[in-house]
Homo-oligomer: A and B are copies of this chain.
Amino acid sequence: MDHEKYMRMALELAAQAEGDGDVPVGCVIVKADRVIGRGRNRREERGDATAHAEVEAIRDACARTGSWRLTDCTLYVTLEPCPMCAGAIINSRIRTLRYGTRDDKAGCCGSVLNLFEERFNHHPRIYQGPLKEECESQLQDFFRGLREKSGEI
């Protein structure tokens, strides 16, 4: 699997989210080297607290495959999942998770806690990267831009 290619797709989706006024987070789900789900953060655009990139991509993949079980899939996301998204990854039986950069405030792959090591009924394999630096820069640039607009800098 070309991990870099798929993480780059997630970065492009994240850039689209930013274009619509949302924090740039993007996600793709891949099965047998084919993209079966795409999502990007649409919380502000849709006014929906559940519209994070991973939940959007999981819903897309479920709709396309006609099943809630995404057993043999890899999920690529630019930012470490929050509890809701980590839970959605467990619920959908995603086999492998690859995330770009850490989220010190809400990350559930070890930053706040590791939800995947708890006593739930499914344990995906977790990897950080590829494109960690690009994922980190995209978010840092976005938040720097927000601070500049609000006159903090």
Contact = CB atoms under 8 A, between A and B. Distances in A.
Contact of A50 (B59, B66, B118): B59
Interface stretch (A4-12, A13-21, A87-95): A87-95
B47 A68 contact: yes
Nearest to A89: B84
A68 B48 contact: yes
Contacts of A70: 49
Interface string A66-105: 1111100000000000111111101111000000000001
A123 interface: no
Stoichiometry, copies per complex: 2
A150 interface: no
B50 A88 contact: yes
Contacts of A92: 49-50
Contact of A49 (B51, B58, B83, B105): B58
Interface string A24-57: 0000000000000000000110111111100100
A112 interface: yes
A93 B49 CA distance: 9
Contact of A62 (B47, B62, B67): B47
A120 B112 contact: yes
Which 3 residue pairs across A and B have the least CB separation, nearest first? A84-B87, A83-B87, A49-B92
